[in-house]
Amino acid sequence: MLFDLFKAIVLGIVEGLTEFLPVSSTGHLLLVDHFFGPEPEKRAFWDSFAVLIQFGAILALLTIYFTRLWNIALGMFTNAHDRRFVIGVLVAFLPAAVIGALLHGFIKGVLFNVWIVCVALIVGGAVLLWVDRLTLRPRYHDATDFPLRTYLIIGFCQCLAMIPGVSRSGATIVSAMLLGADKRSAAEFSFYLAMPTMAGAFAFELYKSWHEIAAASPFIVAVGFVVSFIAAWVVVKTFLDYVSGHGFAVFAWWRIMVGAVGLIALALMK
């Protein structure tokens, strides 16, 4: 029990710190979980745990953006701009909702693989470095002003993050920047899109894995949830200001380092 509690705290910290950074929270969780040691009898529980504690990060985002979200929610009935943005978020969310539901078994059964995670981290880091060094001329400086077509394309690009190690926020940020968004608005839209995407993944995973969670330990999930909330709150409060002034290079190099070290460690463990 104490080992599971310690593991839940560590995974909660990792989830909260990485969920909204372009480094792949799922990839980091899978790697940390793997190097904790094999627990075949609990494999299904910890795989579900990694998805369920994401809701703690969502709540952190909701507390920080509550006033803005409330104003948009009220405004969508009377304000065309707010209404178009809500439609844009839903349009961006739709591809992941459909593809995620259809491929849920394949994603967890095949793609949740630490070797795939390490390779995806390295490739994604290289892509992030490339985009960060491009001389882009942003046309959009507000996440609520993207064209509907841009929202849809970002939504399809987000589906790449179903491969653990790609990063949901990384895929949305990179695609938004290539489509004309500046760094800050691209990162902020990844926050907005995270809310329905992660909430949907949480609800679906809870429905599919309720018996495993109930039989194992709801308390362990609750601990991971709370820790994830606290860590994510700190990240969200600082991330936008950081990327606006410094870009994404530090996250790209972190991905490459973790992926490379992970591959070496996996090869030595064979």
Domain assignment present for residue 225? The answer is yes
Any domain includes 2:
no
Each residue's pLDDT tens digit, 185-221:
999 999 999 888 877 777 776 777 666 656 557 788 8
Average the pLDDT over 80-84 and give the result: 93
Number of domains within the chain: 1
Q: Which residue has the tokens 């509907």?
A: 148
Quick check: is 16 in a domain? no
Q: Which domain holds residue 136?
A: 23-35+42-269
Instruction: Tell me, yes or no, whether 18 lies in a domain.
Output: no
CB of 76 closer than 8 Å to CB of 138: no
User: What's the pLDDT tens digit per position in 110-151?
Assistant: 888 899 999 999 999 999 999 988 989 999 999 999 999 999
In a domain, 10, yes or no: no
Q: What is the pLDDT of residue 54?
A: 81
Q: How far apart are CA 72 and CA 150, in angstroms?
A: 20
Q: Could you read off the pLDDT of 163-187 as tens digits, one per residue?
A: 999 999 999 999 999 999 999 999 9
The predicted-structure confidence for 18-68, as pLDDT tens digits, reads as follows 988 999 988 998 898 888 876 666 666 776 777 778 888 888 988 999 999
State pTM to two decimals: 0.86
